[in-house]
Structure 1
């Protein structure tokens, strides 16, 4: 290593202001950093999980991790090393700083017992070289409210006794947190991650600072006939008029639903708001009930579809043992890991009753990088498709088709949250 290379270390209290300045500069955020912002940000940072690269006493690169629980197919959750706040100043790019910080963080996560690592990738080409692969995708729609075919005068859910209520932020924090924990444990919600108490405080404005970007929302909750909260919708609306007529845009900031009745009712609610001409869906699962729940699905238009949550294994046997499998089958996987953490030969013996996975000397059925396994793990990607893309080699005929049956899920994985 170059003797003059920046020093990489976990940050101290004295480093913190310089670290925040580097983070903001890396993401092209200008303006004065206030004591209020420093204090509010500090509450979400664990110093022993936060790295900085320092040169001449100044921070030039940032990297942070946080503990996370990731829902996998079947409803179980695994411990994940969530990577965030990655930035390198433009004056210090291409010097290997990110690689050094990533290597340290992944080693710490493996030692800590995390079975995988997750991140939201701002740029596609960066993280594949560290063994990550896109594990979930997200779709955004805009919906012309006048063309949906829904009753524009709709005012209450179809289920007898069910209702929708607007609630204040303090109540939304309590109701939303309980609902989210229940929903993310459902067997078909793979890709969802836990939301901490701080997450809910940030989302509802209980923790805020000038320039944070927080926008207060309206929050509606759907209660079933028994009075139990089964859905939550947070939305905003602008003040747009044309030719003396209201043409407002409503933007869905969050929509959690425990069942189809709640989801459909909340979509109908926001699409029938007075004065609203267009509804922006926000980030949704690619196979969301929208737009097919509309009598006229053509009222919805896809405006964005892209990869979202990226994943990489740290402990392959633990990761593969934890998820559910719809049928019985056995595969030997040969995995290459560019970081030297999770590679090797592994025998997966899966069934609906459970799975075992352990290192093996048996010949491989499928050969791939850990990034390819990452893309298949939550059920979204096809081994057969990866084989055709040249990202996976089939050593035993039929092994890719078996992997598709074992790993793919009926509903696509989805991760709604940026972290």
Structure 2
């Protein structure tokens, strides 16, 4: 078996596999358009006798963690022909992808799993979930008089990104978006946008939405302050003659809407979403913005990682009073480690999805309570959130 990057001439065999595995069919026009955007260097394939047996796409992306951008390898399109499944092909591709990400300085990786249990075997772990609301029109927030104005269908990527970035920096796991990503992966050709401007003309909120079959579907609802939130909901409340309900697709877990409504009893789902894993622990820790404290913190931490062996072993974690971290390898194993965890647990704690005390309580973090308390002190609190898909 050979694992390598695809070349431009292999677009069609890559698309054939993707269409079969994910059960869709592009029209000839759509396939021609997709060909113009094909980046063969981002697709890795497992070949035998010149035949493509399995593939994945490795996307060079960035996410925010505690307001700081981190280079991230986004895995997508992981697929194989059914006759080649359960033969180690995807394992080989994932191992290759981890090595490539390490070499490229992508210290963390994210993916949208078909099976959480499957990717946990290779070190990825659930890192975020979101709410989904189905809100009857008679329970919409009340219309409010607001200062400023809303404008519809501006289709201005720079303007939307200007609003999106400060909002995204409030969360861990949100993508940094460039113009190409906005145009290709976010904005819907048939969709609408609405932007709220404050009284002095400052853009402070937007929503992306569709209206069809008497249903309002809100894909993104982004705001900087309460005035922007109220203005956007007032705009949507003016659709009351057109729709029976609103479906808000990607709602962060810290959203306050149910509490603010007169009747908070409406359909609210919690949807487990993306997984993440630290690719290269030492440089990740060295760049990570720890919480500043009065004194330095030093811990011996044993990390278990069988898929990325460069992470496996006993490490000394040192965090300065200013919150600068350093992870130094001590050895492969040691009875003196104060804390032990696998790479999944380390990822969920540092990305802000779960706290050290929680992981200790449920047996995912083992060791001394003093070490757990130290991690609680130096890992900042945060909420994970992701509106994008890939």
TM-score strictly above 0.5: yes
For the pair 1:126 / 2:118, whether they are aligned, the reply is yes
Q: Which residue in the other structure is 2:287 paired with?
A: 322
Task: Report the Cα distance in structure 2 between the residues aligned to 1:264 and 1:237, rounded to whole angstroms.
Answer: 20
Is the 1:380–1:408 Cα contact (8 Å) retained in structure 2? no
Q: Who is 1:407 aligned against?
A: 379
Q: Residues 255 and 43 from structure 1, CA distance in 2 versus in 1: closer, same or farther, beyond 3 angstroms?
A: farther
Q: Give the corresponding residue for 1:211.
A: none
1:62 paired to 2:55: yes
Question: 224, 232, 248: which is aligned to 2:206?
Answer: 232
Structure 1: unaligned runs, 5 residues or longer: 1-5, 206-213, 240-247
Structure 2: tracts of 5 or more residues without a match: none
Q: Identify the match of residue 310 of structure 1 among 258, 275, 282.
A: 275
Deviations 1:68-126 (A, max 9, x none): 111001x1111111111111222211011111111111101111111111212232112
Aligned residue number for residue 356 of structure 1: 325
Match of 1:331 in 2: 299
Q: 1:408 to 1:267 in 2, by over 3 A?
A: farther
Indicate the larger mover: 105-114 or 348-357.
Answer: 348-357
Match of 2:216 in 1: 250
Quote the Cα distance in structure 1 between the aligned partners of 2:261 and 2:116. Answer: 33
CA distance in 1, matches of 2:363, 2:235: 46
Distance 1:352 1:189 in 2: 24
1:238–1:386 distance in 2 versus 1, CA, 3 Å: same
1:171-199 per-residue CA deviation (whole Å, 9 max, x = no partner) reads 2x232133223433x3x322111123222
In the aligned structure 2, how far is the partner of 1:405 from the partner of 1:265?
39
TM-score, normalising length: structure 2? 0.89
Among 11, 15, 19, the alignment partner of 2:14 is: 19
- Cα-to-partner distance string for 1:38-59 (whole Å, 9 max, x where unaligned): 3332444432221123345443
Q: How does 1:161-240 map to 2 (within 5 A)?
A: 162-169=148-155, 171=156, 173-184=157-168, 186=169, 188-203=170-185, 216-239=190-213
TM-score, normalising length from structure 1? Answer: 0.83
Q: Distance in 2 between matches of 1:295 and 1:402?
A: 42
- Cα deviation code 1:254-283 (max 9, x no counterpart): 222233432343234324422222111102
Please tell me whether the aligned partners of residues 216 and 245 of structure 2 are also in contact (alpha carbons under 8 angstroms).
yes
Which range is displaced more, 101-110 or 266-275?
A: 266-275
Maintained 8 Å contact 1:142/1:301: yes
Q: Deviations over 1:157-216 (max 9, x none)?
A: x3x3x22110243x2x232133223433x3x322111123222222576xxxxxxxx561
Q: 1:226 to 1:398 in 2, by over 3 A?
A: same
Compute the displacement of 1:352 (Å): 6.6
Query: Comparing 268-277 with 109-118, which one deviates more in the overlay?
Result: 268-277
Provide the C-alpha distance between the structure 1 equivalents of 2:3 and 2:284, rounded to a whole number of angstroms.
30
Contact 2:352 2:384 in 1 (8 A): yes
Aligned residue number for residue 388 of structure 2? 417
Q: 1:45 to 1:355 in 2, by over 3 A?
A: farther
For the residues of structure 2 that align with 1:400 and 1:70, how far apart are their CA atoms? Answer: 27
Distance across 2 between alignment mates of 1:196 and 1:42: 21
Q: 1:285 aligns with which of 244, 247, 252?
A: 252
In 2: Cα distance, 1:46 partner to 1:10 partner: 10
Rate the CA distance shift 1:273–1:385 in 2: closer, same or farther, 3 A.
same
Give 3-state SS (helix, strand or coil) of 2:193's partner.
Answer: strand
Q: Which moved more, 1:284-293 or 1:343-352?
A: 343-352
Query: Over aligned residues, Cα RMSD in angstroms?
Result: 2.4
Aligned equivalents of 2:321, 2:271: Cα separation in 1: 31
Q: Which residue of 1 aligns with 2:225?
A: 259
Number of residue-to-residue matches in the alignment: 381
Q: CA deviation at 1:293?
A: 2.9
Kept in 1, the 8 Å contact 2:8–2:39? The answer is no
Return the offset for 1:34: 4.0
2:315 is aligned, of 342, 346, 368, to 346
Counterpart-to-counterpart distance in 2, 1:105 and 1:45:
19
Is 1:94 the counterpart of 2:86? The answer is: yes
State the 4+ residue runs in structure 1 displaced beyond 6 angstroms.
none
